[in-house]
Amino acid sequence: MSTLTDDRPSTPSAPDDQSNDGVEATVGVVAIAVGVVAIAMPLLVGALVSVWLGVLLVVLGVVRMEALKSRSSVDVRLLASEALRATGYVIVGIVLVVFPLEPTRLSYLLAIPLLLDGVGRLVGVIRGTTDTRSVLLGVGLVSLAALLVVPWPGTAAWVLGLLFGLGLILVGVSAISRLWRRSSSTAG
């Protein structure tokens, strides 16, 4: 079994897995919505990114943790991996709300959840617990995390919102596409 937003090998899903579809769809939609807003308003996000994204990361982390509760059967390692990622989102979110940071330090902090997701996906592929298509997503998330810590020109705070938004959209699309593949494999 894979983590919440990882791709699983195509197998017919059990009835218990279908009860989790609504929660997983919510995670995907919330991640995409947060990412689109971050991309649509990069200057605003650049100016308000600390508090605004902090609150959104706490919400996203809580939603991911709630999704874990509805899993029917879970490998302890995968559960720990997803719990670590969700906890990373919550911790980074709380730090951003409580201790607003300037763009330089903020970029390092925003790279953490993307790096956790990307590395988690790559480890899942190496262990054979997720579909090999997750390699592209994992590499993409790690690359976006790396771009977040690159020193951009002094007034490029909008880059933070843009790159972080792209990372969240990747996470959300992954969750939705996995559900779509699962539903199409059970229909046919």
138-148 tens-digit pLDDT: 888 898 888 87
In a domain, 8, yes or no: no
Is residue 6 scored above 50 in pLDDT? Answer: no
Per mean pLDDT, which range of 7-16, 30-39, 42-51, 75-84 is the poorest? 7-16
- Residue 58 is predicted with a pLDDT of 92
Rounded to whole angstroms, how far apart are CA atoms 128 and 6? 12
Single-letter amino acid, residue 173: V
In a domain, 148, yes or no: yes
In a domain, 132, yes or no: yes
In a domain, 10, yes or no: no
Tens digit of pLDDT for each residue in 23-63? 888 888 888 888 888 788 766 666 566 777 788 889 988 98
Show the domain range for 166. Answer: 16-179
In a domain, 155, yes or no: yes
Rounded to whole angstroms, how far apart are CA atoms 144 and 150? 10
Q: How far apart are the first and last CA of the chain?
A: 22
DSSP string, 1-13: ---TTS-----PP
Is residue 160 scored above 80 in pLDDT? Answer: no
Percent of the chain with pLDDT over 70: 76
Is residue 1 scored above 50 in pLDDT? Answer: no
Q: Cα 114 vs. chain centroid, distance in angstroms?
A: 7
Please tell me which residue, 134 or 122, carries the higher pLDDT value.
122
Secondary structure of 73-92 as H, E, C letters: CCCHHHHHHHHHHHHHHHHH
**What rounded mean pLDDT belongs to the chain?**
76
Dihedral sign from CA coordinates of 176, 181, 186, 188: positive
- Tokens standing for residue 161: 């919102």
In a domain, 187, yes or no: no
In a domain, 4, yes or no: no
- Residue 49 is predicted with a pLDDT of 64
In a domain, 6, yes or no: no
Q: Cα 172 vs. chain centroid, distance in angstroms?
A: 7
Rounded to whole angstroms, how far apart are CA atoms 143 and 18? 32
- Residue 11 is predicted with a pLDDT of 47
Rounded to whole angstroms, how far apart are CA atoms 107 and 158? 11
> Tokens 């009835």 appear where?
15
Single-letter amino acid, residue 35: G
- Residue 154 is predicted with a pLDDT of 57
Rounded to whole angstroms, how far apart are CA atoms 155 and 89? 26
How many domains, the chain?
1
Please tell me which residue, 15 or 156, carries the higher pLDDT value.
156
